[in-house]
Amino acid sequence: MNIGGPALQISGLMRGLNSEEFEHRLYTGFCAQDEEDYLEKIATDVNAHRIEGFGKRVNFRADLRAFIALMNEIRNFKPHIIHTHTAKAGVLGRVASILSLQKSIRVHTYHGHLLSGYFGTLKTTLVIKIEKLLAYFTHRLLAVGDRVRQDLLDVGVGSLEKFELMPPGLTISTLPKKSVAIQSLNLSIGKLQCGFIGRVTQIKRPDRFLDVVSEIKHRGIDLHFFMAGDGELLQKCRERIIKENLPVMVLGWQSNIEMVLSSADIVLLTSDNEGTPLSLIQAGMAGLPVIATNVGSVANVVTNGVTGIITALDITEIADALEKLVGDKDLRDTLGLNASEFTLANFSVERLVHDHEELYRKLVSNQAMS
């Protein structure tokens, strides 16, 4: 439950599922030292059963302890449905479910995938083989967007009959006044602000973000930037910003996303790979125009030229899009208004909860009839 999209989604489900109809439990492990725990920092109201040794990184002894603990929990709880999220938990949870010999319905959500941008050829091939095998023993596969589902189908993971789309659902609170947010985060008053919001990890390509900043500076465009997030590449980014004197404020991880969104005029996503990026949904709900690389299911969130601008991975193309928005306030306002209407209509947490409840009812009913 490190801070990120899956943790936000799962917390929404834990709060929203009808407790009179569903007795649901959350099993999770512990975050690594370089990660922030969403349950400790934000979702302090969400109860979770912590599994010792259950972590993101591969560790045979710890993983074996976690696997045995999960299998014991399944045998004691005897759940009708076991719903797994994220890659590592998806493997351990589903294998534990199979070997527990309980007649549980297995559901797995792909918030993204590990098919590109994470591993070399050998490891990626191994990941595909594992996912293909587990998909065979999983009753329903969910993907956060069309692109994620198609990428998995293209390599033989699952079948179209097993897959359903389950777009994210979330909510944001009322935004503070922009002047208050700018002052709170110590940003430059009266300057346009472009934000990088998310984990500062390789897959998010913060180096590409800084390349764009460097290009914007070289063009003499009056635009300031900030980075709101944490990760293993943050220190390297700090060093580059200082060395090249880039107009970037490093905010680190921020618990108040509304404060961050209120400070921004544009949100920029430069990733190599994404599921359905929640930062873009949040930006849309805040009425902000976005520029995003055409990866994952970005196109399910951003309609090019209508709610934002989708670009290739090319630095010049991204910088051109930024220059266009900086010079056209009416366009920024129009894209932001369209983004707000679209995201609020399609990505609410109420819709997410409703869709899960309907899915669970259908799966249990089908099992009872078979």
The strand ranges marked E within 213-367 are 224-228, 248-252, 266-269, 290-293, 308-311
Instruction: Calculate the CA dihedral of residues 249, 168, 58, 34 and round it to 10 degrees.
Output: 20
DSSP helix/strand/coil, 74: helix
User: Token match 């990733």: residue?
Assistant: 271
Topology given in CATH for the domain delimited by 5-170+349-369: Rossmann fold (3.40.50)
Residue 177, pLDDT above cutoff 90: yes
**pLDDT digits 0-9 by tens, 147-172:** 889 999 999 999 999 999 999 998 88
Identify whether the C-beta of residue 171 lies closer than 8 Å to the C-beta of residue 15. Answer: no
- Name 150's Cβ contacts closer than 8 Å, sequence gap at least 6: none
d(CA 317, CA 41): 37
**pLDDT digits 0-9 by tens, 178-189:** 999 999 999 999
Residue 118, pLDDT above cutoff 70: no
Are 5-170+349-369 and 178-346 the same fold in CATH? yes
Domain ranges of the chain: 5-170+349-369, 178-346
Identify whether the C-beta of residue 309 lies closer than 8 Å to the C-beta of residue 321. Answer: yes
d(CA 72, CA 50): 13
d(CA 347, CA 281): 7
**Model-level pTM?**
0.77
- Which one of 213-227, 264-278, 295-309 scores highest in mean pLDDT? 213-227
Supply the pLDDT for residue 123: 84
**pLDDT digits 0-9 by tens, 193-229:** 999 999 899 999 999 999 999 999 999 999 999 999 9
d(CA 228, CA 236): 15
What per-residue string of b and e applies to 187-213 under the rule 16 or more CB within 10 Å gives b? beeeebbbbbbbbbbbbbbbebbbbbb
Pick the CATH number of 178-346 from 3.40.50.2000, 3.10.100.10, 3.40.718.10, 3.60.9.10: 3.40.50.2000
Which uninterrupted H or E stretch holds 108? strand 105-110
**pLDDT digits 0-9 by tens, 133-143:** 999 999 999 99
Taking Cα atoms as reference points, which of 329, 286, 331 lies closest to residue 308?
Answer: 331
